[in-house]
Structure 1
Amino acid sequence: MHTPHLIHTVTGPLPAAAVRGPALAHEHLVLDLDRRGDGGAVLDPEVHGPAVTAELAALREEFGLGLVIELTCRGMGRDPRALARISRDAQVAVVAATGWYYEPFHTPELAGAGVGQLAGTLVREIDGGLGSTGVRPGVLGEVGSHGDVPSEPESRALRAAARAAVATGLSVATHAQLGRGGLAQLELLTAEGLAPHRISVGHQDLLDDPAVHKELAASGAYVAFDTVGKESYQSDDVRLRLLLALLEAGYADRVLLSCDISRHGYLEREGGQGYGHLFRSFLPRARAAGVDDALVDLITRRNPLRFLTGASVEEI
């Protein structure tokens, strides 16, 4: 009998087949990246949690939102108990993460630690849960680098994530700052034995370079257009053009989409585009450009489930 592809969510294991609606492949529901002291890059569970929960519940009602891949990792203000509460209250499955973000946010434990030691830390969290919460991560991410080549500490963090992924059967989602360095990330991760189809290279919608996107997709990796709606970084016009180019090149089964809500000012309650921008604004434009319902389902539901589980197109 075929074992169902299981996803580790913040409320326990979930068969991939149980997720009937779309997923958001790269989001933050709880976060603290405040380095300026202005409190902007924060999603405080006590202050902003109710608004986050309400948005997810509304998206479940309106669009059938079934899953959120939440990529807040070590040093980013991760709060597994808050994620479990939001997931239960919104009735939307949430996958928590482990790993290390890019170098400005590295925690002291990275200093002088070898790749094996770091991988051991991640494997312990994956197998034993986050702290005393019992919440198990279902993905490694967002493991980060900046520039065209990862720094030495970023290389160690990426290699450790790859080793932990190979050891535990999870996948790795990266943070490629402003879309740069994705090919270098892919090379580092695969050199540790991680299959490309267990890798999602992040923020590629911020890189206006279709050739890079095609090279990543041709390798078998997922190409994440995951900052949809962040017009201050890139216009959705450019994002749509890049997406259509990748689809036309035959790589629909390699695309992931999300909004990467990473500041409370992006929440609808505060006048921002919200988690629903993908469904309310971007996907209707993609449909108008010829993307049909089957393609939308592939990109927004089947691809994220396949990324998390390692399943093939035929299986999900």
Structure 2
Amino acid sequence: MNHVHTVTGLLSPHRVTGPVLTHEHLALDLRRDSDQEAVLSGTHHSAVTSELAELRGEFGLSLVVEQTCRGMGRDAAALARISRRSQVAVVASTGWYYEPFHLAEVAAAGVEELTEILLTEIEGGLDATGMRPGLIGEVGSHGERPSEPERRALLAAARAATEAGLPLATHAHLGRGGLVQLELLTGAGLPAHRICIGHQDLLDDPDVHRKLAAAGAYVAFDTIGKDGYQSDERRLRLLLALLDAGHAERVLLSCDISRHAYLRHEGGHGYGHLFRSFLPKARAAGIDDDLVDMLTRRNPLRFLTGSQGGEI
């Protein structure tokens, strides 16, 4: 079975005995003129570390997949410090977010050149740290169809993921465009089971969720607790519909903490909202402990390692 590349080295899936948060941010900077709060900088890292350590102690949190990539304020060295101090493993990422956050390199390069940029990071390490990413993501688009630069970034991500044997996670803005993303990525040769389509809990369309899962992709319900976008009650209804359709093995869950106001020490719902609020509601709706383990541990490990079937 493949190991997982973390910021502190290779991790055997057998050592991941507790839950995994599959889409989070621990260090990022998405500030633009219209939004100065979308940041998790050095002044917030102590609070981030404390939250993760607390979740490790209370719920056994074993691993966080950190999806901050190129142009999002990624800080690989900070991720390593947070991981060591919290004693929670962290997977780092490479790729390009959606177009408003693209670096200038995307506009100037073709698919082959962009692919080479990603492979250089995968093989040589992130941000001059030598740390290898374990994921390509969150690679984005922000409409029903990717823009031309987003299409090139997605194709490069698919090619790099295929060559390097890494999984790929997308940013489907407000949940839209996931089927087109999947078609583009699989058309470039990346198997569907190595792909996670992001933010599907923001799309109130169970038919799309079923189609993504039936095609073999992972379906991310990864903005849990962000009530300004969608209520958790509606998220739970959408999740139950996908489970009832027989696609439990294709669901990933997370909270996507992406601004400092979401941290618990600032009064936000925090990284633990999935465990403290959403999963108790899911259990009350009939989801048992084995299914919770599938959604929060076995599915993430299968996605990260490329395993299929009952290997984990």
Residue pairs, 1:56-75, within 5 angstroms:
56-75=52-71
Per the TM alignment, residue 38 of structure 1 is displaced from its structure 2 partner at its CA by: 5.3
1:21 positional shift: 0.3
Match of 1:282 in 2: 278
Query: Please, what is the CA RMSD of the aligned residues?
Result: 0.7
Choose the corresponding residue for 2:18, options 4, 16, 21: 21
Equivalence for 1:148: 144
Amino acid in the other structure paired with 1:171: P
- Deviations 1:199-256, CA, capped at 9 Å, x for gaps: 0000000000000000000000000000000000000010000000000000000000
State the distance in 1 between where 2:245 and 2:299 align: 17
For the 8 Å contact 1:230–1:259, the answer to whether it is kept is yes
Which residue number corresponds to residue 118 of structure 1?
A: 114
Any stretches of 5+ residues in structure 1 without a counterpart? none
**Distance in 2 between residues matched to 1:187 and 1:193, nearest whole Å:** 10
Inter-partner Cα distance in structure 1 for 2:309 and 2:239: 19
Identity of aligned residues (%): 70
Unaligned runs of 5+ in 2: none
Please name the residue that 1:208 is paired with: 204
Which residue type is aligned with residue 233 of structure 2?
A: D
2:75–2:127 Cα contact (<8 Å) kept: no
Is 1:43 aligned to 2:40, yes or no? yes
Shift of 1:17: 1.1
What one-letter code is carried by the residue in structure 2 that aligns with 1:33? L
Alignment TM-score, normalising by the size of structure 2: 0.99
Detail structure 1 runs of 4+ shifted over 4 Å in the superposition.
Answer: none
Output the amino acid matched with 2:21. L
- Is the counterpart of residue 220 in structure 1 residue 222 in structure 2? no
Superposition TM-score, scaled by structure 1 size: 0.98
- Corresponding residue for residue 267 of structure 1: 263
Alignment partner, residue 290 of structure 2: 294
Cα distance in 2 between the residues matched to 1:215 and 1:259: 23
Counterpart of 2:160 in structure 1 is 164
1:96 to 71, 92, 100: 92
Q: Give the secondary-structure state (helix, strand or coil) at the position aligned to 1:48.
A: helix
| In structure 1, distance between residues paired with 2:23 and 2:4 | 15
8 Å CA contact 2:38–2:259 kept in 1: the answer is: yes
Corresponding residue pairs, total:
312
Residue 3 of structure 2 is matched in structure 1 by 6
Q: Distance in 1 between matches of 2:288 and 2:63?
A: 21
Shift of residue 111 of structure 1? 1.1
* CA distance in structure 2 between the partners assigned to 1:305 and 1:162 by the alignment: 20
**Residue number in structure 2 paired with 1:181:** 177
Deviations 1:48-98 (A, max 9, x none): 000000000000000000000000000000000000000000000000000
Please tell me whether the aligned partners of residues 253 and 313 of structure 1 are also in contact (alpha carbons under 8 angstroms): no
Residue 193 of structure 1 pairs with residue 189 of structure 2: yes
- The 3-state SS of whatever aligns with 2:151 is helix
- Residue 5 of structure 1, CA deviation: 2.1
Q: 1:246 maps to what in 2? A: 242
* Equivalent position SS for 2:43: coil
